[in-house]
């Protein structure tokens, strides 16, 4: 089987069909993502076409790769902050998302690159940065939404905590904090079932590229553990930042 050609004519029929299935499923399940599915698919087509051209230049030098990673971080921050703000508007939310995603991703990438755990070249730095930033973004978004939703749904308990002398950050974390852990479940499940349920992209890509299964498995292990570390830190930072933020009246937050 050849992987160096386009998707072929079948994709022209199958991909729209898959989008239609997703839209119909969303409609019948009342997920309210009908338009979002179509928009996401169309954006993916355009963005991947553009990225395919730009990445070639970014991979030619380390500064180019770092510049592209900075773009990734900016887009991840905006995306995450908008999702969280759809649950409740909190002053400084864009900064919170930037710190949570950027801080977590920076720590993990430095620990992987500086000691030489992964090669110090643009070809490794760019995809690794994208994977880690993407995972941190997902964790930040899920944690932020769960925290604010729980805060709104249990605002009475939050006020009760304040009435017995708890400081606002402590009352917030007592009521909403445990729910943030749900944001780590996808990464944990992916790691627990790797090789049994899923064959992740880094592993498959290396094997298809001619690397030995052993080398591919080693790199995939680094990616999976790095994701857990980055997402855990992102969740921690988002929790601490929201706990100390100027929160809206919980009665106005949709649980």
Residues 157-211: tens digit of each pLDDT: 999 999 999 999 999 999 999 999 999 999 999 888 887 777 666 666 666 566 6
Judge contact between 135 and 210, C-beta under 8 A. Answer: no
User: What percentage of the chain reaches a pLDDT higher than 90?
Assistant: 56
Cα distance between residue 237 and residue 243, in whole Å: 10
Indicate the DSSP class of residue 247: P
The more confident residue out of 244 and 45 is: 244
Q: Give the tens place of pLDDT for each residue, 48-92.
A: 877 777 777 788 888 888 999 999 999 999 999 999 999 999 999
> Could you give the CA distance from residue 132 to residue 140 in angstroms, rounded to a whole number?
12
Averaged confidence pLDDT in the chain: 87
Distances (CA, A) of 174 to 14, 140, 177, 195, 196: 48, 19, 6, 37, 37
pLDDT at 2 over 50: no
pTM for the complete prediction?
0.85
């Amino acid at each position: 089987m050849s992987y160096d050609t386009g998707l072929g004519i079948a994709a022209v029929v199958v991909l729209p069909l898959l989008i239609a299935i997703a839209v119909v499923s969303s409609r019948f399940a009342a997920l309210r993502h009908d338009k979002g599915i179509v928009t996401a698919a169309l954006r993916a087509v355009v963005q991947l076409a553009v990225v395919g051209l730009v990445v070639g230049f970014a991979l030619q030098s380390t500064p180019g790769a770092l510049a592209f990673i900075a773009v990734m971080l900016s887009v991840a921050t905006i995306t995450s902050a908008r999702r969280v703000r759809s649950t409740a508007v909190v002053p400084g939310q864009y900064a919170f998302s930037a710190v949570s995603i950027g801080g977590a991703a920076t720590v993990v990438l430095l620990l992987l690159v500086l000691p030489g755990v992964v090669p110090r070249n643009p070809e490794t730095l760019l995809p690794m940065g994208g994977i880690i930033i993407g995972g941190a973004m997902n964790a930040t978004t899920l944690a932020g939404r769960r925290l604010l939703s729980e805060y709104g749904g249990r605002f009475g308990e939050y006020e009760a905590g304040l009435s017995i002398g708890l400081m606002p950050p402590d009352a917030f974390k007592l009521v909403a904090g445990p729910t943030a852990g749900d944001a780590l479940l996808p990464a944990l499940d992916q790691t627990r079932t790797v090789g049994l349920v899923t064959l992740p992209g880094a592993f498959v890509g290396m094997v298809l590229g001619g690397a030995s299964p052993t080398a591919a498995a080693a790199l995939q292990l680094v990616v999976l553990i790095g994701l857990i570390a980055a997402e855990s830190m992102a969740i921690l930072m988002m929790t601490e930042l929201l706990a100390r933020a100027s929160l809206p009246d919980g009665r106005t937050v949709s649980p």
